[in-house]
Structure 1
Amino acid sequence: MTLSALRRRRLAWLALTASLLAGLMALFALWHWELARGERDARQHAATRLNFYASTLNAELSRFQWLPELLARQARVRIALGEPGASPAATAPVTPSYQPDAASAAAPLGSSSDLNQHLRRVARASGAAAIFLTDRDGMTVAASNFDEPDSFVGYRYDYRPYFIDALARGRGEFFAVGNTTGRPGYFVSAPVLGDEGQPLGVMVVKVSLEALEDTWRQAGETVLLADANRIVLLASRRNWKYRALEAIEPQALDSIRAQQQFRGAPLTPLSRELEDGSLVLGDNHELAASKIVPLPTAAMGQRYLDESLASGPLGWQLHFLMPLRPLYIQARNVVLVGLAVILGLAMMALWMRERQARLGLIRREAVMMREINERLEERVAQRSRELEATRDELVQAGKLAALGTMAAGIAHELNQPLVGIRTYAASGGKLLARGIASAATRPELTARAAESAASNFTRISELSERLADMIRQLRVFVRPASQQAPVALALAPRIDFALELLAERVTALDLTVEREALPRDVIVMGEQVRLEQLLTNLIRNALDALEGQVHAQQARGSDELLGESRDGPARLRLSWQAWPTVASLEGQPGGCLRIEDNGPGIDPALRATLFDPFTTTREVGEGMGMGLFLSYGMARDLGGQLRLADGSALGGACFELWLRTPASEATHAADGTEQQGSGQQSVT
């Protein structure tokens, strides 16, 4: 591994470590920020709820603030306390619904019965838990619950602060658990004064706050009310009542016991820390002893946020406790979301890094492959040039090497013109001798002989020209193919030449040549000499097949006439099928020349090797089997193809010579142009 690679790897690890530390710090900061935000929202919610609970508490207490003083001013109350000068006119209804019953109306005004009934009616009308009257010594002389088992009548309450404060300051307020009934309540009192202002007794109204406490409990929130000594007076959780939020001073504890405020309740302080470590946090998350309270079994393991508000008389504090678990859960969820985002970003970063690395590798590989391809293309181009040159050399060498094989074919091709020349020369010599002999006696014979001799010499000249053409064709064959350019040729004259060359054999066989399906205006692409030689070879093969069939019949002693085949007179059919009537070579436009005869046909066993050298069906010495081999090669050199058709309508053999036409050459050139560049219009 190189030094730069090691440095990059070390930098990558450092970046990864720094990213992890930054992510952890971000999550830690996010945790604290979410906790602070949640605590702020919780405190706002707690303040709103505290204001609501404080307003309901104050409304409940304020309903009864005026009632003791109003009752203390009534004449029947002072008469009951022994004030003889009290005027009955001072007595008035307490509420619009107040109506004295029959028993009260019959009882003397100020009597115990009258006052008890009166206090009960007022208590029922106002909703007070109880109303009672004490004398100056604290003894209860009348009460709204006079006829109940736990009646206040006959009990002394001179130790209660509401009695002492009413006589001393003109008004008393106190919260305590009733020693007689055992039910807690808020006591409000006012002194009963005589005509001269002397205290006669104290009127006390007891207000029950249990309905308010039930409302707190039904709301499902943690609310408590503590007095100045930090003792829980009311709570939405029952087991928190009459417990101290903090340790009580001995002096305050002695005062509470002297006043019998909580009827002997232990007043044990709530522990600062529970067994499971659950705490209630105060302001600023300080574990102040004044803010730590135990939890019920259902709330074990939870932490609470304590918000308080001064409410009610006597220095009371209303506390609202918010569980911190939802805040922790919310903060945890936010941190988890942040962690998911960080992990997602990390995964995306890794994916991007991997993608960049992969793209870089792909680009490098692409550059490498492009360089390799360029080098390969150079090699291929060089090898192609070498192979092209080698192929041309091999083709030329093959042609030269094939001359030995073609020697027999050349002898075969030159034999007929030479035989014709020899025959015409001998005939011409005889005609000249005959004309010379009869020149003196019969001049007309001499003229005819001279004319015939001239015709023979003309044929000799034509055959000599034919031999020269064959020699020229041989030179063309030897010349490289790249130097031979195809030209447009009329097909009919080429066929005429081949038939004229073979006219004697056609006449000897009494051959019928059918050319109705061969138009005179057919134009093909090729070389004149090769095309004429190819057509001559194909027609000669047909004549050979017909002659062979006739000779075989004669050898068997057949009665068939010379020139008749198995299907009647010898027939040769030449027809042309042009594109698009038939599909030409490689799907290109062109045409097909069909050469059919009614001879014996081709043995199926020879179809696979028919165009191979030295394949023949003739007798030994009559042919060397080079005609079709040479014809196949010439057809291929002309850009066409020679093949044996599957069947013939005449019953013999059928050869198909596929040739290109000028239209096919134009299409072929257009295809080549399209391959070189798109967007150019093709020529059809």
Structure 2
Amino acid sequence: MLVKGRNRLLAAFLGLLLVAGAVAGPGGDFVMRRYMEEASLQAGSALRLAVSALRGHLSRFEPLPELIADHDEIELLVSDPDNAALRSAANLYLKEINGLLESSDIYVMKMNGDTIAASNYDGPTSFVGQNFSYRPYFQDAARGEQSRFYALGTTSLKRGYYFASPIRVGDAIRGVIVFKVDIDSIETSWQGGEYKIFVTDPEGIIFMTGSPEWLYAGVLPLTPDRLARTQASRRYAEAELKPLPIREDNSNTGYRLTSITDGGASREYLTLSSYMPEADWTVNVLMDTGSVRTQARTMQVAVLLFFGLAGLAVAIVLQRRARVQERMRLQDEARDELEHRVEARTADLARVNRRIEQEVAERRAAEQKLRQTQADLIQAGKLAGLGQMSAALSHELNQPLAAAKTYADSAGMLIDRDRLDDARDNIQRISALIDRMASISRHLRNFARKPNEKLGPVSLAAVMSDTMEIVAARLKSADAALLVDLGETPPVVQAGSVRLQQVLVNIITNAADAVEGLEDRRIHVRVSYEGGKVVLAIRDYGPGVPTAIAERIFDPFFTTKGVGRGLGLGLSISYNIVKDFGGDLTVSAPEDGGAEFRIVLDAAPAISEAAE
């Protein structure tokens, strides 16, 4: 009986050794792959977020060079590049736009690559007079293409992303305009994080990274061909290029592992990459596998410990059973008690195992939900407000066009029946409709074009009349009522008529957006006086402006509208226009709800008196 018990113990220990070998061998590889899979999912989420941040930051600025190239001052400058007055006006305009959009630099070049105007014309590193014909972005734009390029500035020695667009005058390309964007803010957000993130160019050179010591290092061999192409475009100016001590590891995990030697120490990283075709970049996310391997080893040790305890429990059970069998006749009660204890302990272990499995399942479900949420966080670009206004006005043009078509058909029938007087009346109606469409088109053209106007006396009544022509379609679509009270004698203010009209259109259009779909869709425009100032108040009864965002509502690109309903530039531009007039633009929240915008301007003499 005792020999039989010893044989059982020996068999149990042999089984335990087999299980331990399996855990340390194939089982260890399985555990490592599972942890690598979880790490890869986490790094993949970080990679998608990094690519989305880069793509969103760049796409916000991509259409701007083409818009600025269509400006009258820019077209006049490239048509007469030696005109000092045109250069001065263009320099001031580019500096103003650069400050408003918070970009790095904006500059204009002739077809030979000479810079003739720049936003930094008065700075110590002015681009004016510099020749950038060797840059690929200039060469592409000179051929009529929209170009993008990342480089280290040869003059400013600042890194940036360049958007270039041809300047067309008629059918000819007369110059190139370049818009440089600073992306250091994105790179700063990568520093000190859990992952190491860097971006490489087509030659494998790192030009963006959260690890400054890796900047301008090559992850591919710096062959003479790669160095020659980089030097030809002077992408990195005089920066020293160096190889990054990186080595691909061949392992059986099924994942891309790389080792990088930094400061004499070598670290292993799980590496994920994503190619951005629109920028010809490759975004890389590196995750240190030290913690992953530590977790895997900890799990292996825990499993071995578990099996060791289980083997010990089995040995104890077998030993006790052997003793019970030896004393079966004399200790039946003790044997029953022992079996009861074994069953109780087995049940406890089963309950613990079920609880652990349930907790593991809940954790995996939570992690899956988090990864799905992170994958859905892709922001769309914001559409320009001018497009919405143009769509509304085009609707206004469709109605008189349809009526003119009806009158024209009717006039033909009346002529066939010799009812010439009635046909003539139809033709007069068509002429009136054409005048109406010309008026709408003229208002839209005057509103869209920035005039070279000086400050002077402006009648609020005239500006308000032109404004109502433009916003009529938006008010109609929102079913909003515009109530205007300019007093018995409408005041005259010191301003520019077209720019003041632009401010009123922006604020009234925002008010129409705010009240659309509400019960109270009134918009009040009232005039009051405070000392020598004229106060023009625009009040709506919409949801109002929360106090938390009141101080930021005039910031560029800040908007409370949904995705695709505006760039967030309207109020920022309006605020700067009013400041140019020497006035002030504020917003408040009345106690009975809604929002009230107050435009404070200097009163001016009556226009008739000013003319005398």
TM-score under structure 1 length normalisation? 0.45
Q: More relative contact order in 1 or in 2 (CA 8 Å, sep 6+)?
A: 2
Higher strand share: 2
Q: Which of the pair has more CA radius of gyration?
A: 1
